[in-house]
């Protein structure tokens, strides 16, 4: 019964927050963006959890696990639904190539920078866990969110090619990272945390991909006829709830599985605009619920180990994007020169980064998961604080860079 009270409180907070938060500002400052990004709700969840008031205790959170899984699945579905082929083919192919190689470089540097540190800071963990966590950290720092650039659009008088290129790159980077999330959870499948054979890993990746593709195709067939918007939204909610629950049961990340589901359905249906409006109407309250639950799950710990890991992750993220963007832009034959500080456009993790971090925590109920979640969330928080200032610097017209 106490779980119903706690969930009702979360619903009330989400309702009020979605009405009064997330409002655009004429000036984008770190404080304004801190509210706009919704990260403040992580601290509210932290207060409601066991480290604060205890309203969201461990037992209550266990009972609310299906809601957390569904929220992750819904975020994944909305993200995947935007990856429609008709939309993507409007952009030059070298944009997609730059996105892929830029993400791979940042992932590699994140892996290479965190692996030796993990071996020192977590000496009791096995080599398989060290490698898996290093891959996970590399994927984390390659993630971006478009929320910062969307907010900045209201404060910019002129938006040139560099702005729209950055907007495309931050919108696509999540796909490569979530594909990597499937790789991690397939080859380091819980409860066996050590790497399995190549064949089993490939089989698990295929299962976690084919399952949502099949359901997306079936759902498209069932909704081809004329259907009212309220009914369609109920069907979508039920579908994502089922898929995310099944994913969590078999230790697959609902974020990835539902992303594939959203991609499949988006590229089959002809109701994209109508469905996207429905999805946007639910995005903010469910995002607030997700952040509160993540904050309550977060066993905040801070020591030199986590501080050092956060410093390395942010440093590698900044250097990786700063170095790779101009190099690959020239490699792919971009007709204009990017601003020298263009890589600073990619410091905001956004909601997709938070969802990714808790996905690993949920899939792997291991002692090391708390360490990963703390390092990941602190990196995200610092990234959100400094990203508005960094963005202002990154698109400044210097060194012949085109921004106007």
* Nearest C-alpha neighbor of 83 from the set 146, 23, 30: 146
State the chain's mean pLDDT as an integer.
Answer: 83
Domain count, the chain: 1
Domain membership of residue 7 (yes or no) is no
Residue scoring higher pLDDT (54 or 244): 244
Please give the average per-residue pLDDT across 107-113, as a whole number. Answer: 92
Lowest average pLDDT, out of 4-18, 123-137, 356-370, 372-386, goes to 4-18
User: Could you tell me the pLDDT band of residue 200, with boundaries at 50, 70 and 90?
Assistant: confident
Domain membership of residue 85 (yes or no) is yes
C-alpha span between 224 and 227 (Å, rounded): 8
Domain membership of residue 3 (yes or no) is no
Q: Where are the alpha helices (DSSP H) in 83-126?
A: 85-88, 93-121
User: Could you tell me the pLDDT band of residue 1, with boundaries at 50, 70 and 90?
Assistant: low
Please give the average per-residue pLDDT across 257-268, as a whole number. Answer: 93
pLDDT at residue 208 in the model? 93
pLDDT at residue 232 in the model? 84
Domain membership of residue 15 (yes or no) is no
Lowest average pLDDT, out of 61-65, 171-175, 177-181, 299-303, goes to 299-303
Domain membership of residue 11 (yes or no) is no
Please give the average per-residue pLDDT across 318-330, as a whole number. Answer: 78
Residue scoring higher pLDDT (128 or 47): 47
Residue 338 is classified by DSSP as P
* Nearest C-alpha neighbor of 128 from the set 390, 364, 397, 376: 364
Domain that holds residue 51: 30-394
pLDDT at residue 259 in the model? 95
Please give the average per-residue pLDDT across 353-361, as a whole number. Answer: 91
Domain membership of residue 348 (yes or no) is yes
Q: Which of 14-18, 56-60, 156-160, 305-309 has the highest mean pLDDT?
A: 305-309
Please give the average per-residue pLDDT across 329-353, as a whole number. Answer: 78
First-to-last CA distance in the chain? 58
Domain membership of residue 404 (yes or no) is no
Where b means 16+ CB within 10 Å and e means fewer, 188-217 reads bbeeebeeeeeeebeebbeebbebbeebbe
Domain membership of residue 244 (yes or no) is yes
Percent of the chain's residues with pLDDT above 90: 28
User: Could you tell me the pLDDT band of residue 397, with boundaries at 50, 70 and 90?
Assistant: low
pLDDT exceeds cutoff 70 at 120: yes
pLDDT exceeds cutoff 80 at 32: no
Please give the average per-residue pLDDT across 282-290, as a whole number. Answer: 85
CATH number of the domain that 34 lies in? 1.20.1530.10
User: Could you tell me the pLDDT band of residue 240, with boundaries at 50, 70 and 90?
Assistant: very high
User: Is 325 buried (19+), middle (13-18) or exposed (0-12) by CB count in 10 A?
Assistant: buried
Please give the average per-residue pLDDT across 37-49, as a whole number. Answer: 85
Please give the average per-residue pLDDT across 168-173, as a whole number. Answer: 86
Residue 10 contacts residue 70 (beta carbons within 8 Å): no
Lowest average pLDDT, out of 36-45, 97-106, 146-155, goes to 146-155
Percent of the chain's residues with pLDDT above 70: 87
What DSSP string runs through 149-178? HHHHHTT-S---HHHHHHHHHHHHHHHHHH
Please give the average per-residue pLDDT across 276-282, as a whole number. Answer: 81
Q: Which of 11-15, 47-51, 114-118 has the highest mean pLDDT?
A: 114-118
pLDDT at residue 21 in the model? 60
C-alpha span between 264 and 163 (Å, rounded): 29
pLDDT at residue 188 in the model? 80
Residue scoring higher pLDDT (312 or 230): 312
pLDDT exceeds cutoff 90 at 260: yes
pLDDT at residue 3 in the model? 67
C-alpha span between 357 and 177 (Å, rounded): 11
């Amino acid at each position: 019964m106490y779980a119903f009270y706690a969930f009702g409180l979360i619903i009330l907070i989400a309702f009020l927050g979605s009405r009064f938060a997330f409002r655009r500002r004429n000036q984008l400052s770190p404080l304004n963006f801190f509210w706009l990004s919704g990260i403040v709700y992580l601290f509210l969840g932290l207060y409601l959890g066991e480290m604060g008031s205890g309203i969201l205790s461990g037992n209550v959170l266990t009972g609310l696990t299906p809601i957390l899984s569904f929220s992750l699945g819904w975020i994944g579905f909305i993200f995947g639904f935007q990856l429609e082929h008709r939309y993507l083919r409007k952009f030059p192919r070298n944009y997609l190539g730059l996105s892929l190689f830029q993400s791979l470089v940042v992932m590699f540097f994140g892996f290479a920078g965190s692996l030796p540190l993990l071996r020192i800071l977590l000496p009791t963990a096995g080599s398989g866990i060290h490698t898996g966590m290093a891959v996970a950290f590399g994927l984390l720092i390659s993630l971006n969110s478009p929320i910062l650039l969307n907010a900045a659009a209201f404060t910019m008088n002129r938006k040139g090619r560099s702005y729209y290129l950055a907007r495309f790159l931050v919108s696509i980077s999540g796909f490569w990272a979530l594909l990597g999330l499937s790789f991690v959870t397939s080859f380091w499948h819980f409860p066996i945390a050590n790497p399995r054979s190549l064949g089993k890993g490939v089989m698990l990746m295929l299962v976690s991909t084919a399952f949502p593709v099949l359901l997306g195709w079936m759902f498209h067939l069932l909704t081809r006829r004329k259907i009212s918007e309220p009914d369609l939204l109920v069907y979508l909610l039920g579908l994502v709830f089922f898929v995310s629950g099944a994913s969590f049961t078999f230790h697959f990340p609902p974020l990835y599985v539902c992303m594939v589901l959203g991609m499949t359905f988006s590229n089959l249906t002809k109701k994209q605009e109508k469905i996207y409006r429905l999805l946007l109407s639910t995005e903010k309250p469910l995002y607030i619920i997700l952040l509160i639950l993540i904050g309550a799950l977060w066993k905040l710990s801070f020591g030199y180990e986590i501080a050092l890991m956060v410093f390395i992750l942010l440093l590698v993220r900044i250097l990786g994007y700063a170095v790779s963007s101009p190099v690959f832009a020239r490699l792919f034959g971009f007709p204009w020169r990017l601003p020298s500080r263009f890589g600073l456009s990619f410091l905001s993790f956004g909601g997709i980064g938070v969802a990714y971090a808790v996905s690993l925590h949920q899939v792997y109920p291991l002692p090391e998961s708390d360490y990963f979640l703390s390092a990941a969330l602190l990196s995200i928080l610092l990234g959100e604080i400094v990203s508005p200032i960094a963005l202002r610097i990154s698109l400044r017209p210097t060194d012949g860079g085109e921004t106007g």
